[in-house]
Amino acid sequence: MVYLPREDSYLLKKWVEKLAKGDVLDMGTGTGIQAFAAAPKAKKVIAVDANPEAIEYCKNAVHVFKNIEFRVSDLFSNVPEKFDVIIFNPPYLPESKFDKEIDVTGGKEGWETIERFLKEAKKHLNKNGKILMVFSSLTNPKRVLEIAEKLGYSHNLLEKKHIGFEDLFVYEFFLK
């Protein structure tokens, strides 16, 4: 199953359209919504997902953009390059007895996948590169920002939006 765009995807897409440039990585591409949003302003977009179904879905959907390459990759396992912008709509919900799917669950507390991503992303950012990431108030935003700071990132809150029972945050991260 491929994660279909929801409020978080559309909120992040708004910022991708404004800030994407140069060499772009769309981590956890799903349906490719962020890759397609970045492509018009990017030199090249590499879009990856751990789910081979998502990559096949995207390959079948892309006809207009010739600057997007799709790959199967568990985070950076199949991504040796460096980028100007890395986009990530991570699985960020805490595990529950009802949902343990990797497309939405980011670990026991919800932030574990984000922590793993931020540790690895440092090696894949060009000088002055940035990360655009969305996550929820259910993820423990304070903990996410503490992890980012501990790993040497600065951050800017680009937007906060209340949706139903949670707040969504779009942050820009960059190395100090």
> Residue 122's pLDDT is what?
96
> Residue 66's pLDDT is what?
87
What is the CATH number assigned to the segment(s) 7-175? Answer: 3.40.50.150
- Report the distance separating Cα 21 and Cα 65, nearest Å: 15
- Reference 134, options 85, 91, 170; nearest CA is 170
Of the listed ranges 4-8, 30-34, 61-65, 120-124, the least confidently predicted one is 61-65
Q: Contact 90/135 with Cβ under 8 angstroms?
A: yes
Q: What is the CA radius of gyration of the chain?
A: 15
- Reference 33, options 22, 93, 15; nearest CA is 15
pLDDT at 176 over 90: no
pTM: 0.92
pLDDT in tens, 100-119: 455 555 556 678 899 999 99
Band the pLDDT of 21: cuts 50, 70, 90: very high
- What is the token pair recorded at 77? 């396992």
What percent of the residues of the chain are helix, what percent strand, and what percent coil, each to the nearest 5?
A: 30, 35, 35
- Report the distance separating Cα 26 and Cα 45, nearest Å: 7
- Report the distance separating Cα 146 and Cα 52, nearest Å: 32
pLDDT in tens, 79-107: 999 999 999 999 866 666 555 455 555 55
Q: Roughly how many angstroms between the first and final C-alpha of the chain, as a whole number?
A: 38
Query: Starting from the edge strand earliest in sequence, which strands make up the sheet with 166-175, in order?
Result: 68-72, 42-49, 22-27, 83-88, 125-136, 166-175, 153-163
pLDDT in tens, 36-59: 999 999 999 999 999 999 999 898
**Cβ neighbours, 10 Å, residue 170:** 22
